[in-house]
Chains A and B, each alone.
Chain A
């Protein structure tokens, strides 16, 4: 029997624009394209749009608004004050740009970064005018706080549920525009021929029906993929479907070795304790009660960037100064902030520590540990979110990418906190504008040859058909084994030996996966089937991460190799491009980094 009923081969759903993913990037793109007059937009989400992981972002969204500044002479965690009209502006896009480039360990493309930091204030003001409820200063302007790696306070926030407020705001506005949302639809395949994007194959999860969906332009805004690790801040949905589907269709993946570990995931759970905890003045302590960041970043302390703080924690843990039953954590201490500030600025964090570890952060420190958080790599795209097919920058006609699944390379080797909400919103909007122009300049609806729906159906049917003479494998056991090896061997610290082990493990798991079977044989809302496809996607992009990391024999940003502990600009100041190569793992190619040598030449990264 087949899983999927009611296949509609001859009834393709047609849109001018198809957007996959309804988080900040996807919803911004839909809204922006719609406001430009594109009427026929379809947005797919495998969840309801309001369940998108953008909503889990906590701490803030960066932009140099110049609303606050540190009180002179009070140090890195001293009080902030409002900037009065006429005062010297403490911040600028140039400063935001330098912080972002330095944070990226000079791997970020500086032309794209310049666009991002210059347009940032406008995005915040637009959110504000669409009804976003930001936290405010006493004079009614948007409040700002400190964040790691930013030299001045420029994180605009709504308590510690900033992403939630932004996501709801943009979803409402996209509804207002009359965008069509396909809620709980899942993209299985991207149809590319002759380097022209023609549409997708999608599964209507509720009914189990497969559909051919054609469009003049397709945008992938499918988010991150932290689910390849055991300890992760990511939602269960973050399985890298978009990057895997694009890669399978022949699009390369860029800089996949750069995966950010956030320093403060709840111990044993990985659930995020916002970086705002440190932005508001929280300390990190080891088992001896030492504020160990003194040893690693004497100036910035806890407000050093995430890669550096995560490594510092992991060093303390590796050297036996960890806390918790297996000594795999350190303490985050917020007690000195006081109950009132904690409840006003960090209410969600307070709730999380209480509900998951039974700790009241007003009276006790809470155990945390580095957690897989953000993927700097992804589908390569230019600053208009146009996907490219190779190192020469050949465009894939009609295919766009934005948000965490894309690699426009504004984050380079390490992303600064609060720059991801900015990236997703701003490049989502740019994608919408670019796509509107593409469609309105007369882009045709490209024809689809062959039977892509039948190919997807064959792929899904495999999970119930069985492989004769061989024992069935469990999807969840394979996924768990992958998470084990990625956590152990492709984590905060890496080396050649461990990466080789990971590469072998992934290969073995891919082989086991060919015999994977699922238990749910029905077509209605089959989440067993979804998990099987998601696990296949995890295996696909994990192989790329490991191969890219193994090849890069240097340490830069979030990619830290103990066997090559130095950054090597002579050899490695370049982007990795991994192309699918059916015989033997990915074929790696490299692409130059855009650097304005006169303004921001590479220098040693110190905090």
Chain B
């Protein structure tokens, strides 16, 4: 319980401000606030908004790294601000710099326009396509059987919170807005690997096209940026291999589904 006992001290929070209705270009504003060792970056932004400048604008909701609202760039690194403590980011002069996620249009201050992010997400058909034997109109009795090993494979993708930290850290996204992006490719991987999904070949065709897995330059920015410790690059690598033999993969899926 050492954290709460620590002394308050001053920190300078430098925040990029930009309201396109009144500002010609983005600028950095400085706010001095008191912090303790357990003050999070989000706490700091909330304090500035309630006490110093109510017009400071940012997104947030759950406060504990599960909703994905508050991804931003802190000292040049994409992260969530809700579960990171200010102290860990202060330089020798006691300053930290918070900017919106890069490579995305700014709506206002730290709020970015994620339209392209969600369009790419939709492109991979993020929903499961169940086996043909599953008839939507009938009442359901019983469950498919999925092994713990298959679940473990899916878990490396299912905990993605769609915060956008990976997407906006990706150099390929920066250069080419048609690239599907690590978040949507990870979602595609979740569906491709799921024994209950009946369209792995169609999915591999989508991600195996010009804007998909072969466009990835394997720079690993997405891995560094992911606040949930996920590995989109590895998922992309796996799908590259599977894309080459997608019809055989789908045939194996049909076999697997006989014992679901």
Query: Are these two chains actual partners, yes or no?
Result: yes
Q: Which residues of A contact B (CB under 8 A)?
A: 35, 47-48, 50-53, 55-56, 65, 122, 124-126, 128-131, 133-142, 158-159, 161, 164-165, 168-169, 172-173, 175-176, 206, 235-237, 267-269, 271-272, 323-325, 348, 351-352, 355-358, 367, 474-476, 518-528, 531
Closest A residue, CB atoms, query B85: A355
Q: Is B3 an interface residue (CB 8 A)?
A: yes
Task: Please measure, in the bound complex, the distance between the C-alpha atom of A529 and the C-alpha atom of B86, giving whole angstroms.
Answer: 27
Q: Is B132 an interface residue (CB 8 A)?
A: no
Q: Please state if A355 and B147 are interface contacts (CB–CB under 8 Å).
A: no
Closest 7 pairs (CB-CB, A-B)? A131-B128, A140-B145, A519-B54, A476-B50, A520-B55, A172-B127, A528-B54
Closest B residue, CB atoms, query A206: B107
Q: Please state if A139 and B145 are interface contacts (CB–CB under 8 Å).
A: yes
Q: Please state if B63 and A136 are interface contacts (CB–CB under 8 Å).
A: no
Interface flags for B186-208 (1: CB within 8 Å of A; 0: not) read 00001100101100000000000
Q: Please state if A355 and B196 are interface contacts (CB–CB under 8 Å).
A: no
Q: Please state if B144 and A525 are interface contacts (CB–CB under 8 Å).
A: no
Q: Please state if A133 and B154 are interface contacts (CB–CB under 8 Å).
A: yes
Task: Please measure, in the bound complex, the distance between the C-alpha atom of A526 and the C-alpha atom of B107, giving whole angstroms.
Answer: 11
Task: Please measure, in the bound complex, the distance between the C-alpha atom of A269 and the C-alpha atom of B140, giving whole angstroms.
Answer: 41
- How near does chain A come to B161, taking the closest CB pair, in angstroms? 7
Task: Please measure, in the bound complex, the distance between the C-alpha atom of A314 and the C-alpha atom of B194, giving whole angstroms.
Answer: 45
Q: Which residues of B contact A (CB under 8 A)?
A: 1-5, 19-22, 38, 40, 49-51, 53-55, 57-69, 83-84, 107-108, 111, 114, 122, 125-128, 130, 134, 136, 139-148, 151, 154-155, 158-159, 161-162, 190-191, 194, 196-197
Q: Please state if B61 and A235 are interface contacts (CB–CB under 8 Å).
A: yes
Task: Please measure, in the bound complex, the distance between the C-alpha atom of A47 and the C-alpha atom of B60, giving whole angstroms.
Answer: 9
In the assembled complex, 9 residue pairs joining A and B whose CB atoms fall closer than 8 Å, in A order, are A56-B67, A125-B141, A136-B148, A140-B145, A165-B158, A172-B127, A176-B127, A237-B61, A325-B1
A237: chain B residues within 8 A (beta carbon)? 61
A65: chain B residues within 8 A (beta carbon)? 143
Q: Per a CB cutoff under 8 Å, which of B1, B65, B139, B197 touches A357? A: B1
Known pairs A139-B145, A356-B83; A131 contacts B127 (CB<8 A): yes
A352: chain B residues within 8 A (beta carbon)? 64-65, 83
Q: Please state if B55 and A325 are interface contacts (CB–CB under 8 Å).
A: no
Task: Please measure, in the bound complex, the distance between the C-alpha atom of A351 and the C-alpha atom of B161, giving whole angstroms.
Answer: 15
- How near does chain B come to A534, taking the closest CB pair, in angstroms? 12
Q: Please state if A55 and B62 are interface contacts (CB–CB under 8 Å).
A: yes
Q: Please state if B38 and A357 are interface contacts (CB–CB under 8 Å).
A: yes
A139: chain B residues within 8 A (beta carbon)? 145
Q: Please state if A55 and B155 are interface contacts (CB–CB under 8 Å).
A: no
Known pairs A325-B1, A352-B64, A476-B50; A164 contacts B161 (CB<8 A): yes
- How near does chain A come to B29, taking the closest CB pair, in angstroms? 14
Task: Please measure, in the bound complex, the distance between the C-alpha atom of A142 and the C-alpha atom of B151, giving whole angstroms.
Answer: 11
A523: chain B residues within 8 A (beta carbon)? 21
- How near does chain B come to A237, taking the closest CB pair, in angstroms? 5
Q: Please state if B63 and A271 are interface contacts (CB–CB under 8 Å).
A: yes
Task: Please measure, in the bound complex, the distance between the C-alpha atom of A151 and the C-alpha atom of B49, giving whole angstroms.
Answer: 47
Task: Please measure, in the bound complex, the distance between the C-alpha atom of A237 and the C-alpha atom of B67, giving whole angstroms.
Answer: 11
Q: Please state if B126 and A172 are interface contacts (CB–CB under 8 Å).
A: yes
A128: chain B residues within 8 A (beta carbon)? 143-144
B144: chain A residues within 8 A (beta carbon)? 128-129, 140
Q: Per a CB cutoff under 8 Å, which of A55, A129, A271 touches B196? A: A129
